[in-house]
Amino acid sequence: NSVMPLAAAGDREGALAALFETVQIRRQLAASDPSEAAGLAKWLTNLSTALGKMGRHDEAKAVASESAEVRTRLMRGTNKSR
C-alpha cells in the first residue's frame, strides 16, 4: 500500500487517491468474502480521517457513517455487504 509513503512525502492528494483506491478494493473483497469486512471498516475510517484533515467534512462524515454501518453489521453478525 502506497498511502503512508505518499503522506510522509507530503503528497496529501496522492495519499488520498491511494486511500480511495484501497477502499474500493476492500469493498470488492468484502462483497465477495464477508470475512474482509473488518478490513473494509478500518480503511473506511482511515479515509474518513484523511478527508476530515483535508477539510472535506461532508465526505468524511459519509465515509465514517459507512464504516459505522459495517462495524454494526459485524457486531450483529449480519455482515452483508451493500
The grid coordinates of residue 54 equal 483535508
Query: Which stretches of the chain drop beneath a pLDDT of 50?
Result: 82
Neighbours of 18 (CB within 10 A): 20
Read off the pLDDT of residues 40-53 as tens digits, 9 standing for 90 and up: 999 999 999 999 98
- pLDDT, residue 10, reads 73
pTM of the model: 0.83
Core vs surface per residue 28-66: b (16+ CB within 10 A) or e: ebbeeebebbebbbebbbbbbebbeeeeeeeebeebbeb
